[in-house]
Structure 1
Amino acid sequence: MAPPGSRRWAYVRIMAGTILGGGLGFYVMHRMETSYKAKMEERLQRYEAHMLAKAKEAQQLQEEGQREDQAQRLPDL
């Protein structure tokens, strides 16, 4: 059987390792989460810009189509 001082030291090492491991795990997960959120914000901004450009292009095509329709309706003089 191990002497009492050695058993106490083992408990201290286990508790210290658990606390430090938990702190390290929390830090790593926090860094991963903030990195992921930053990437997703950037991706969302690019997507919104793409959708705005696409909507603007569709609107221009629609306006051109309306102009062509009006030009066809006007009689040639």
Structure 2
Amino acid sequence: MADTILGGGLGFYVMHRIETSYKVRRLPSHQPTERLRRYEAHLLTKEKEAQQLQDEGCREDQAQLLSDS
């Protein structure tokens, strides 16, 4: 039973080391992936759209206030 537990722990450690080694070689930390770049561009687009909607809402509020007076 102890052999099974030790073997499982050793197997987990070895697989963890292999996985992290692979990730370091495949995805250097100083170069963002294409997927990350697309996601960041998408977030910027959404932020700009939200800002435009907010600006339009402010203009409508001002126009309504001017027409009421």
Aligned counterpart in structure 1 of residue 27 of structure 2, from 26, 32, 53: 32
Please give the alpha-carbon distance, in whole angstroms, between the structure 1 residues aligned to 2:25 and 2:42: 25
Please give the alpha-carbon distance, in whole angstroms, between the structure 2 residues aligned to 1:30 and 1:40: 17
Structure 2 runs not aligned, ≥5 long: 1-20
Larger Cα-atom Rg: 1
Please give the alpha-carbon distance, in whole angstroms, between the structure 1 residues aligned to 2:27 and 2:65: 55
Please give the alpha-carbon distance, in whole angstroms, between the structure 1 residues aligned to 2:39 and 2:28: 15
RMSD of aligned residue pairs (Cα, Å): 2.4
* Matched residue SS, 1:41: helix
Structure 1 runs not aligned, ≥5 long: 1-24
Deviation at 1:31, TM superposition (A): 2.4
Deviation track 1:23-63 (CA, whole Å, cap 9, x = no partner) reads xx56x633234896222111100000000000000000000
Q: Is 2:47 the counterpart of 1:51?
A: yes
Aligned-residue identity in percent: 6
Higher relative contact order (CA 8 A, sep 6+): 2
Q: Is 2:32 the counterpart of 1:41?
A: no
Between the two proteins, the alignment pairs up a number of residues equal to 48
Q: How does 1:57-76 map to 2 (within 5 A)?
A: 57-73=53-69
* Matched residue SS, 2:45: helix
